[in-house]
Amino acid sequence: MTTRYQGKTVLITGGANGIGRAAALSFAAEGAQVVIGDIATKAGEATIRDICDAGGKAHFFQTDVAQAIEVDRLIEKTLALCDRIDCAFNNAGISGKRAMPLAHIREDEWDRIMEINVKGIWLCMRRQIPIMVRQGQGAIVNTASFLGLTGTAIGLSSYVASKHAVVGLTRAAASEYARKGVRINSVCPGFVETPMVNSILSFPAMREKIERMHALGRLGSAQEVVNAVLWLCSAEASFVTGHDMVVDGGCTAKSAS
């Protein structure tokens, strides 16, 4: 166990599974008190148990990040427990149930992606930022995607639009609050093996196609993304704000070439 985050409180949304779960385990292993907000209760509680069994400190609150009242409650409970929020990893997100061309997307499917992926991040930041401003310091990382920087023809236009919005929201928020001690960045993963993409990967032809999109010729692991998040939240990144950090095995570079 290292101590980079000793004495720090880290709030993570979407921490029950995938990248968020890996982040929760890593922040806790580096000494942080971790608070997870996620809609998935069983998986969230399992993550907390795993952290506590390893000697770390963690709490779970069932939260739908698309609901203002639930986000407000998550923040209140975090403050009641920990008194401060040093870092926030706003990571909860969905890709939608099915990939399909733009003209076939249903309005309710479009709205749900935007509510969770974009509004959810705004709802979190609008409560986290004033707390960090009061503290005189804080670091936020929002999960975007390499698809927040490029387009694709694989039927994910609403997801692509939502992640472009995350990158834009992050840059604007970083510009507004940089002089108040709050650094705000986004992380832009390539395809990562998590529950979100497992169903797509079960088709061998699709796995091959996705692997080929990456210059490195493979998918990433959740931990490879988390390594960047831990750095962005740390004092080592003290001159980094408004940055969209690509952790995508060369997807973006390849699509630009």
Give the one residue of 9, 13, 33, 252 binding ligand NAD; rule: CB under 6 A: 13
Element (H, E) at 57: strand 57-62
Among residues 33 and 95, whose Cβ is nearest to ligand NAD? 95
Note whether 38 binds ligand NAD by CB under 6 A. yes
Distance (Å, rounded) from C-alpha 225 to C-alpha 236?
17
Among 20, 56, 96, 249, binds ligand NAD (CB under 6 A): 20
Query: Judged by CB under 6 A, does residue 142 bind ligand NAD?
Result: no
153-157 long-range Cβ contacts below 8 angstroms, 24+ apart = 154/99, 155/98, 155/99, 155/100, 155/101, 156/95, 156/96, 156/99, 157/101, 157/102, 157/105
Q: Quick check: is 159 catalytic?
A: yes
Q: Is 249 among the residues that bind ligand NAD (CB under 6 A)?
A: no
How many binding residues for ligand NAD (CB under 6 A)?
30
Which stretch in 34-42, 49-57, 99-107, 228-236 sits in contact with ligand NAD by CB under 6 A?
A: 34-42
Nearest distance from C-beta of residue 196 to ligand NAD, angstroms: 3
Instruction: Tokens for 206, please give them.
Output: 């699709």
User: Does 47 participate in binding ligand NAD (rule CB under 6 A)?
Assistant: no
Asked if 143 is part of the footprint of ligand NAD (rule: CB under 6 A), the reply reads: yes
Nearer to ligand NAD, 180 or 207 (CB): 207
Residues 167-196 touching ligand NAD, rule: CB under 6 A, are: 189, 191-192, 194-196
Q: What share of the chain is helix, strand, coil (3-state, %, to 5)?
A: 55, 15, 30
Q: Which of 159, 165, 169, 182 is catalytic?
A: 159
Instruction: Report the C-alpha dihedral over residues 47, 37, 187, 94, rounded to 10 degrees.
Output: 90
CB nearer to ligand NAD: pick between 180 and 224: 224
For the sheet with 87-90, list strands across it. Answer: 57-62, 33-38, 9-13, 87-90, 138-143, 182-189, 244-247
